Amino acid sequence: MPSPRRHAASRRGPTLPSHRLPHLPGSATLPAQRRSQVPAGLERFNAAPADDVRRALLACCGSLRWACRVADHRPYPDLDSLLAAADEAAYDLAPSDLAEALSCESITPLPADIYSAARTALSAAHAAYESRFGHVFVICLDDVSPDEAADRVLAAIRSRLANDPEDERPLAADELRRLARGRLIRLVRDYSGAPARTEHAH
């Protein structure tokens, strides 16, 4: 089955500094003793077919290069190694890869009970941000309580609207990296309830 393909967005901007990947296991199977210590969800993530994993990873970060790089470095001995690899792959995204990932993001839905004035203000702020920078506003709210999320987003948009595009792009990239980490943690947790599947040798 062919690898999933995405069309890279045409917007370009500065990339984050390049970092070297830490030493990680390659495609060979982990030794039995270490494999027995791998959490069930991560073990299934390690063993799942590459195309399935890449598709799942693209839901964490919309860069095909990022998804392929994280998938290709399996198996991971623990979650920290997986997250470290995901971070390094995010730091190394080229401008076109970053634009591709940002083009796949959408505005986070707001709680249904948010009052109308705040909803109107947020909609206007989102529109102003996208008009200025050419992509939706991204922010990681994993450490923010739901009742504070709307205020946090509105304050962040208003603050970052004052940035020049070249200053804003690295900030958006870092928020995207943090979003990908949180999504990746949830992805591995979801794999813990999935039936085990293994790749067939070619």
Q: What is the pLDDT of residues 103-151, one digit of tens each?
A: 999 987 777 777 788 889 999 999 999 999 999 999 999 989 888 889 9
| Domain ranges within the chain, ordered by starting residue | 32-99+182-191, 106-168
**58: phi then psi, degrees, rounded to nearest 5:** -65, -20
The reply to whether omega before 75 is within 30° of 0 (cis) is yes
Per-residue pLDDT for 30 more than 50? no
Per-residue pLDDT for 26 more than 50? no
Cβ–Cβ under 8 Å, residues 53 and 117: no
pLDDT bucket at 6, cuts 50 / 70 / 90: very low
Q: Which residue has the higher pLDDT, 15 or 108?
A: 108
pTM of the model: 0.75
Residues 6+ apart with CB under 8 A from 98: 13, 15, 63, 169, 173, 176
**Axis-axis angle for helices 165-191, 116-133 (nearest 10):** 120
pLDDT bucket at 193, cuts 50 / 70 / 90: low
Residues 6+ apart with CB under 8 A from 53: 45, 71, 74
Percent of the chain with pLDDT over 70: 76
pLDDT for the residue numbered 16: 31
Cβ–Cβ contacts within 10 Å for residue 90, how many? 26
Helix (H, G, I), strand (E, B) or coil at 11: coil
DSSP alpha helices (H): ranges in the chain?
Answer: 32-35, 40-47, 50-58, 64-72, 79-91, 95-103, 116-133, 146-160, 165-191
Entry field: residues in the chain:
202
